[in-house]
């Protein structure tokens, strides 16, 4: 069955960087667009970024544009989120999610990023 497993979260100081990974299995990863969505503690969902199936097209939320970079390695069935210049308000659980027909039909379990000095 479809599985998405995020990793790479942790505690990081403001201004530092972190790279998240999302390992995909049991589906043809290279044919699906993928997203990152985050959720601050006790808050709602916030869409972060999208990458097309081939990695050519990328979209970002204004709140992360210029600081975060989404990428993928289809040979490794893995999605990435490079997060630079981290701020306290980036603290959240980060989910990767597959897109089908424009919506997110499968989600990972999430990885927690905590930005604190």
Partner 1 sequence: EIVLTQSPATLSLSPGERATLSCRASQSLISFLAWYQQKPGQAPRLLIYDASKRATGIPARFSGSGSGTDFTLTISSLEPEDFAVYYCQQRSDWPRTFGQGTKVEIK
CA distances, 39 to each of 2, 9, 67, 75, 95 (Å): 22, 13, 18, 29, 8
70 CB neighbour count, 10 Å cutoff: 22
CA-wise closest residue to 63 among 86, 79, 97? 86
CA dist., res. 60 & res. 82, Å (int): 12
Q: How far is the CB of 75 from partner 1 (least distance, A)?
A: 26
Residue 108, interface with partner 1 (CB under 8 A)?
A: yes
Decide if residue 13 touches partner 1 (CB under 8 A): no
Q: Point out which span in 12-20, 26-34, 39-47, 66-74 binds partner 1 (CB under 8 A).
A: 39-47
Write out the binding residues for partner 1, residues 43-72 only, by CB under 8 A. 44-47, 50, 59-62
Q: Is 105 in the site for partner 1 (CB under 8 A)?
A: yes
The first and second tokens of residue 2, run together, are 């479809």
Q: Which residues bind partner 1 (CB under 8 A)?
A: 35, 37, 44-47, 50, 59-62, 95, 101-105, 107-110
């Amino acid at each position: 069955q479809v599985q998405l497993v995020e990793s790479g979260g942790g505690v990081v100081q403001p201004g530092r960087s972190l790279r998240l990974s999302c390992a995909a299995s049991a589906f043809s990863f290279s044919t699906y667009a993928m997203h990152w969505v985050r959720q601050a503690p006790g808050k709602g969902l916030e869409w972060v970024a999208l990458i097309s199936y081939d990695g050519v097209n990328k979209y970002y939320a204004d709140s992360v544009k210029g600081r975060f970079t989404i990428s993928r390695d289809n040979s490794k069935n893995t999605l990435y989120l490079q997060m630079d210049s981290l701020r306290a308000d980036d603290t959240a659980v980060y989910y990767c999610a597959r897109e089908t027909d424009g919506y997110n039909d499968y989600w990972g379990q999430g990885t927690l990023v905590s930005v604190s000095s």
